[in-house]
Amino acid sequence: TVVDVDKVLDGLNRVQREAVTSDAEVLQILAPPGSGKTRTLTSRVAWLLANGMNPSNIIVATFTNKASKEMKERISKMIGGGLENKLIIGTFHSIATRYLRKYGHLIGIPGGFGIADTSDSSNIISRIIKKHKYSTMDGNDAGGVKWRISNLKSKMQSVDVYIASQKKNNHNEEFSKIYEQYEKELKNSNLLDFDDLLLRCLDLLRAHPLCVSNIQAVLIDEFQDTNLVQFDLMCLFASRRNKITIVGDPDQSIYGFRAAEIGNLSTMQEVYPNTIVINLEENYRSSAAILNCSLEVIQQDKARPQKGITPTHELGISPVLRQLPSPGDEARWMTQEVLRLRAVTGNLFTFDDIAVLVRSASLAREIETQMSQKRIPYRLIAGIKFFERAEVKPVLDYLRVILDPNNSEALLRILNTPRRGLGDKAFRELSAMAEKKDTSIWNIVQKAARGDLSIAGISNPGKVGLSKFVKVIRDTQNALKSEESEDPETIGKIIKLLLEKIDYKVYVGEKLQGELEDRWQHVEEFITQAVEFCGNVAAGIDEVDLPDTEAVGEAIEESKLVAALGKFLANAALASVKEGPEESGDGSGTGVLTISTIHNAKGLEWPIVFIPGCYTGSIPHSRSEDHDEERRLLYVAMTRAQVLLYLSYPLHLWDRKSGSSQGSNLCSFLADDEIDRLVVKQGPTMDLEKIQSFSNIMSRKCPTREMVQATINAAGLQILDDWVESDDPTRGSEESEGRQYSSQSQYAARVGYQ
């Protein structure tokens, strides 16, 4: 209807509208950060829906699950009617998972397959290395091997292809063997790793293109970071109609280290000669000052085609480039600056408006310490994922085993958690026995529990423990299967009963460090999430079944609860790649500050952004071989900022190995005369006008002029940066600068800092 269409196009500029309503079959929207690519893509989906396209015939691939959730919310606001819930939307991994669940049996993948998450993959590889006593000398440590395997798979080098190529060259025997056995272990445990999800989906769609015969349109965000497998998936998804829209920005390609293929952009134009390219040139996100400075960085790449980008906001406040004596000072300065800004602007913004973006997760520790000391609520997007927590992971593993006891990875982790009197020897013998009899560990466990099989390494208490374990698993399986009600609350009850039976709370209290109450809260949060998720599945909001297509599918017989739980577990495994659940604020209305890696901040924006650790070795990272990619990474980080951008670096780093401090250099991308002219070294000064423009950009808050005036009066315009080194001996961490300088004045002289 006319009303819907108006709403979809509302607030878009001319070129964006053109892109949204384009009749082009294949469309590439290539544009710089903040130009509204994601917004345009979202509107195009809404446009297709408003024009009558069936949502279950549209595939939308986003970079994170969170991004798809946001996209769905926006589409819902534009057109409503719950259509957004029927879209096939998610990351490539989650879309592939859904296809494999529905049609995997066509290529011999049982519907109940589990997903090997990062820790599963590492565990399998470590076990293989240990068992065969492989030398880890030439990079064959579990992490390195996992990374190599993943890279090979992303380049479609399956184990057979790889081994064939290695045989020819006759080298790297050991790695080939690990790769081969890793694949075998996955298969035996009925697991697919993240790369398999994509590769096997590719196999499926090649063999059975009818599975996607209903697809009318394919839309992809952040296309510059897709790999070869994802590109082929895109072509297969679209094979019926060839109607594709991608948005991307070559300047923001930052996943080359994980085999993302920037060449996909031009390959696409070759594969689809009718591709129409649209460029968006206006930036709606950042102040001109931030934009100019970011452009200065990206333009250092001389090979890059020069492109226009026009700011729509006024100059605003110059970015700050700050040198601090040490990482401890840097973290302390940031927290003080955060509090100071809030004070001088009269709490114009909340902690939600602030992000600290770090090159590597390890840089976050010092910052966390300071934030907690100053009681600034924060969420860490770089740290341990919720589902990986020591108290949550076993619960997840129990459920995985209950749904599929052949999942030996999960089984091995919970067999003795909580303690059941099984030692290393018992584990070794169980595995060896399973291998000898060519059966699953679960089968051996059942036999040993019954006493049909005596295993020397298992004591009598161990045997009792095993039979209790088998009974708990079986009982829970039966409870789930026989459950007639579809009420998701039942899932919660079943999980709680399971945890009671295994005395899980006692285990958490005794075996895990830290506050029991905190940990137990996470367990309860997990149960709440499971119930909520299964409720959403039942209500048709999440993970709606793929529509039936011309491909023949034998329906998998599962109870509704089992099916919903299966979807929840898959979701949990995939969520742990990049994001945990939303953590909420402390309820005080001040919001939560975000600490994130730059990689995870892609596509997002905040009014205030801090980028600490801008020194050579951190960015560009000492282990990175691709400096252009590192520069793009800094560019991505800088272009997240809307109003205020803080770059900083410590002059001295504490070197653990030598036990002394070492000098560091400003990141080479920022050590540039042009940039020097564009930044200031002090904190920003803020006069009435600047605060006004500040609040304009953050228009959702938009205080009145009077309010801003009152604020400034109250603050007495005392808003110059007045951060000074404190003498508080408790500050900073153990690596703090205290040891690095013999006296305060010495270091003050050294950094020319008053």
Give the annotated binding-site residues for ATP.
Answer: 31-38
The H-or-E segment that residue 354 falls in is strand 354-358
- Whichever of 35 and 440 has its CB closer to ligand ATP, that residue is 35
Q: Which does 445 bind (CB under 5 to 8 A by kind): ligand ATP, Mg ion, none?
A: none
State the nearest-atom distance from the C-beta of 233 to ligand ATP, in Å: 21
- Whichever of 195 and 222 has its CB closer to ligand ATP, that residue is 222
- Whichever of 280 and 619 has its CB closer to ligand ATP, that residue is 280
Amino acid sitting at position 288: A
Q: Which does 35 bind (CB under 5 to 8 A by kind): Mg ion, ligand ATP, none?
A: ligand ATP
Q: How far apart are CA 297 and CA 318, in angstroms?
A: 15
Tell me which residue has its CB nearest to ligand ATP. 36
Q: Which does 285 bind (CB under 5 to 8 A by kind): Mg ion, ligand ATP, none?
A: ligand ATP
Report the residue count for the chain: 754
State the nearest-atom distance from the C-beta of 281 to ligand ATP, in Å: 11
Q: How far apart are CA 51 and CA 541, in angstroms?
A: 22
The SS3 call for residue 403 is: helix
Q: How far apart are CA 290 and CA 307, in angstroms?
A: 17
Binding residue (CB under 5 A) for Mg ion from 16, 35, 38, 639: 38
- Whichever of 38 and 154 has its CB closer to Mg ion, that residue is 38
Cis preceding-peptide flag for 620 (omega within 30 of 0): yes
For the chain, the maximum distance between any two Cα atoms, rounded to a whole number of angstroms, is 84
Q: Which does 330 bind (CB under 5 to 8 A by kind): Mg ion, ligand ATP, none?
A: none
- Whichever of 311 and 325 has its CB closer to ligand ATP, that residue is 311
**What residue ranges bind ligand ATP (CB under 6 A)?**
11-13, 16, 31, 33-39, 249, 252, 284-285, 603, 605
User: Residues forming the annotated binding site?
Assistant: 31-38
Q: How far apart are CA 132 and CA 173, in angstroms?
A: 13
Q: How far apart are CA 459 and CA 463, in angstroms?
A: 6
End-to-end CA distance of the chain: 65
**DSSP bridge partners of 653:** 662
State the nearest-atom distance from the C-beta of 307 to ligand ATP, in Å: 13
For residue 108, CA distances in Å to 183, 203, 204, 570 come to 15, 11, 10, 19
Q: Crossing angle for the helix pair 560-578 and 393-403, nearest 10 degrees?
A: 140
How many Cα atoms occupy the beta-carbon half-sphere of 261 within 13 Å? Answer: 16
Q: Which does 239 bind (CB under 5 to 8 A by kind): ligand ATP, Mg ion, none?
A: none
Q: Which of 7-15, 346-354, 509-517, 600-608 is the region at the interface with Mg ion (rule: CB under 5 A)?
A: 600-608
Q: Which of 35-43, 61-69, 174-182, 410-418 is the region at the interface with Mg ion (rule: CB under 5 A)?
A: 35-43
Asked if 31 contacts 281 with a C-beta cutoff of 8 angstroms, the reply is yes
Neighbours of 341 (CB within 10 A): 22
Q: For 375-455, where are the alpha helices, taking DSSP H only?
A: 393-403, 408-414, 424-436, 441-450
- Whichever of 44 and 413 has its CB closer to ligand ATP, that residue is 44
Structure tokens, 494:
């079943």
CA dihedral 15, 18, 19, 23 (to 10 degrees): -160
Q: Which does 39 bind (CB under 5 to 8 A by kind): Mg ion, ligand ATP, none?
A: ligand ATP
Q: How many residues bind Mg ion (CB under 5 A)?
A: 3
Nearest to residue 66, comparing CAs of 435, 454, 601, 650? Answer: 601
- The secondary structure of residue 43, as a DSSP letter, is H
State the nearest-atom distance from the C-beta of 611 to ligand ATP, in Å: 15
Q: Does 613 bind Mg ion (CB under 5 A)?
A: no
State the nearest-atom distance from the C-beta of 12 to ligand ATP, in Å: 5
Q: Which does 33 bind (CB under 5 to 8 A by kind): Mg ion, ligand ATP, none?
A: ligand ATP
State the nearest-atom distance from the C-beta of 42 to ligand ATP, in Å: 8
Q: Which does 13 bind (CB under 5 to 8 A by kind): Mg ion, ligand ATP, none?
A: ligand ATP
- Whichever of 284 and 504 has its CB closer to ligand ATP, that residue is 284
State the nearest-atom distance from the C-beta of 32 to ligand ATP, in Å: 7
- Whichever of 252 and 616 has its CB closer to Mg ion, that residue is 252
Q: Which does 313 bind (CB under 5 to 8 A by kind): Mg ion, ligand ATP, none?
A: none
- Whichever of 16 and 190 has its CB closer to ligand ATP, that residue is 16
Asked if 160 contacts 167 with a C-beta cutoff of 8 angstroms, the reply is no
Nearest to residue 116, comparing CAs of 76, 146, 155? Answer: 146
State the nearest-atom distance from the C-beta of 643 to Mg ion, in Å: 19
Binding residue (CB under 5 A) for Mg ion from 465, 580, 603, 613: 603
Chain positions contacting Mg ion, by CB under 5 A = 37-38, 603
